[in-house]
Amino acid sequence: MRYISTRGEAPSRDFEGVLLAGLAEDGGLFVPESWPVLTSAEWRELRGLPYADLAARIVSLFTGGQPDHATLLPMLRRAYAGFGHPAVAPLVQLDARVFALELFHGPTLAFKDMAMQALGPLFDHVLARRGERVTIVGATSGDTGSAAIEACRDRAAIDIVILHPEGRTSLVQRRQMTTVLAPNVANLAIEGSFDDCQDLVKAMFADAPFRQDMHLSAVNSINWARIALQIPYYVASALALGAPDREVAFSVPTGNFGNVLAAWAARRMGLPIAQLLIGSNRNDILARFLSGNDMTMRTVEPSFSPSMDIQVSSNFERLLFELLGRDAAATAETMRRFRAEGRMPVPDAAWRSATQVFRGFALDDAGTLAEIRRLHRQGYLADPHTAIGTAAAMASPPSDPAIPIVVAATAHPAKFPDAVRQATGIEAPLPSRLADLYERPERFSRLPADLGQVEAFVRRHTLRNVA
């Protein structure tokens, strides 16, 4: 299995190479050179497997034997053993047709743990075999950061620096990151938005000497390994609801487009997914694109679903590459114009083919609170991101009523206590292991969104740990 860049100007790599590289040298994202496609019989064979076993089967389709299934299986069994639910990612029925796929039973209470808990040991395995170490730089709007820090803390071959937008995460999200005092972990509060943080990360990767010196790697969903590890829960939930003998739809609260891209990948692999609903908050660039081919950047606005306060959805580039018939030059030019002009010129035919699979939906803060309240009256306590997913499912269900809709429940309500309290009057308690989160000492530094200063910080952090 080889991986190529969506921009066509970087050398192809194997899975391990892609894991360590994160972003391609030409600024593009790695995608499989060809997609594995399973037959109905092969999908059926996966039914009933424990989650970790199913994940090992799916992920090994993307590793090309390095690491092989025999290595992945115990690694993933250990990774998911600590989850707070025996099913790892349970399906909860919300009404006759809508299900919540709870992806928040990992240590940091968001769907990011589903991939990160496996990614930490995967990095260790590959780095130990090669005798190498890496410095991971990551951007977070709140959840990736804590999951990545939890997965990488105290690992001897990894230094990690996470950039978050100052004052734009929930307090729980911030403290989950900044109270981890492990020496290999550093947090930077950046004066700016998540998009500024993500741009800084990409700029560090584009600085070739810095990238090489620091052995930079990534844990954001620009790293293909993240996507590969997010595909299995779509497979598991679809199989549980009758696939491959029944179609299903997914509704995914979306920001950086990594989670819904994993669902799209499962569909590309032959899983019968009728429709993908994309839920956005007031940062509705994806909804505007799907309704009228208008991918115009606006300023990022803070919302009650801060993890989706994003305008530049990195993984959209992977979809764009497919929509453009895998034409890397056209993808590179489209991305260049998006950054230069603030509007992505997607050809009409490509846009139309996107709208056959995806539907967009946007909800403002008042609507989000109303949806949390509606769900609560029905006996389900949802976080604001999940509520946008359920609202999307109610607003644009597939026309065939026999198709169930699975909503990705991406975070535990306790991560967003203010919105949940405003909507329901309920205090969603943190699990006991996080009960003293507000008392723990914090450590983080503040910087403007300035590449030179951020690089100097990353260099100091790494050198201190290597010395």
Ligand X SMILES: Cc1ncc(COP(=O)(O)O)c(C=O)c1O
Ligand Y SMILES: N[C@@H](CCOP(=O)(O)O)C(=O)O
What torsion, rounded to 10 degrees, do the Cα atoms 395, 400, 401, 407 define? -50
In whole angstroms, how close is the CB of 134 to ligand Y at the nearest point? 17
In whole angstroms, how close is the CB of 136 to ligand X at the nearest point? 17
| Using rule CB under 6 A, residue 410 touches ligand X | yes
What string marks each residue from 286 to 325 as x (binds ligand X by CB under 6 A) or -?
---------------------xx-----------------
In whole angstroms, how close is the CB of 233 to ligand X at the nearest point? 12
In whole angstroms, how close is the CB of 397 to ligand Y at the nearest point? 25
| Using rule CB under 6 A, residue 256 touches ligand X | yes
Summarize as ranges the residues that interact with ligand Y (CB under 6 A): 140-145, 220-221, 255-256, 258, 307, 314
Segment interacting with ligand X (CB under 6 A) among 150-158, 257-265, 294-302, 356-364: 257-265
Pair 247, 270: CB distance under 8 Å: no
Which of ligand Y, ligand X, none binds 413 (CB below 5-8 Å, type-dependent)? none
Instruction: Count the Cβ atoms, other than its own, within 10 Å of residue 330.
Output: 17
| Helix/strand/coil for 405 | strand
Which of ligand X, ligand Y, none binds 217 (CB below 5-8 Å, type-dependent)? none
In whole angstroms, how close is the CB of 219 to ligand Y at the nearest point? 7
| Using rule CB under 6 A, residue 179 touches ligand X | no
| Helix/strand/coil for 250 | strand
Instruction: Count the Cβ atoms, other than its own, within 10 Å of residue 169.
Output: 26
**Pick 220 or 334: Cβ nearer ligand Y:** 220
**Pick 126 or 172: Cβ nearer ligand X:** 172
| Using rule CB under 6 A, residue 417 touches ligand X | no
Residues in CB range of 244: below 8 A, 6 or more apart = 40, 43, 44, 238, 270, 271, 272
Q: Which of 57, 105, 112, 168 is catalytic?
A: 112
Structure tokens at 121: 């040991």
Segment interacting with ligand X (CB under 6 A) among 207-215, 252-260, 355-363, 432-440: 252-260
**Pick 221 or 303: Cβ nearer ligand Y:** 221
Which of ligand X, ligand Y, none binds 232 (CB below 5-8 Å, type-dependent)? none
| 405-409 β-sheet, strand order | 91-93, 98-102, 405-409, 248-253, 273-280, 358-362
- Using the rule CB under 6 A, which residue among 23, 75, 94, 110 binds ligand X? 110
What string marks each residue from 371 to 390 as x (binds ligand X by CB under 6 A) or -?
--------------x-----
Instruction: Count the Cβ atoms, other than its own, within 10 Å of residue 65.
Output: 12
**Pick 60 or 221: Cβ nearer ligand X:** 221
Backbone φ and ψ for 220, nearest 5 degrees, come out as: -70, 170
In whole angstroms, how close is the CB of 253 to ligand X at the nearest point? 4
CA 412 – CA 384 distance, rounded (Å) = 9
Structure tokens at 168: 């734009």
In whole angstroms, how close is the CB of 120 to ligand X at the nearest point? 18
**Pick 16 or 113: Cβ nearer ligand X:** 113
Pair 301, 309: CB distance under 8 Å: yes
112 assigned to active site: yes
CA 276 – CA 257 distance, rounded (Å) = 12
| Using rule CB under 6 A, residue 143 touches ligand X | yes
Pair 274, 249: CB distance under 8 Å: yes
Query: Quick one: how far is CA 88 from the chain centroid?
Result: 17
| Using rule CB under 6 A, residue 257 touches ligand X | yes
Which has the closest alpha carbon to 111: 221, 270, 239?
221
**Pick 243 or 308: Cβ nearer ligand Y:** 308
| Helix/strand/coil for 365 | helix
**Pick 283 or 314: Cβ nearer ligand Y:** 314
Provide the phi-psi class of 338: left if phi over 0, else alpha when psi is between -120 and 50, else beta. alpha
Which of ligand X, ligand Y, none binds 257 (CB below 5-8 Å, type-dependent)? ligand X
Which has the closest alpha carbon to 240: 101, 348, 358?
101
- The CA-atom distances, in angstroms, between 72 and each of 43, 84, 109, 115, 160 are 19, 21, 24, 13, 23
Which of ligand X, ligand Y, none binds 220 (CB below 5-8 Å, type-dependent)? ligand Y
Radius of gyration of the chain (CA): 20
Q: Which residues are catalytic?
A: 112
Residues at the contact surface with ligand X, assessed by CB under 6 A: 110, 143, 221, 253-260, 307-308, 385, 410-411
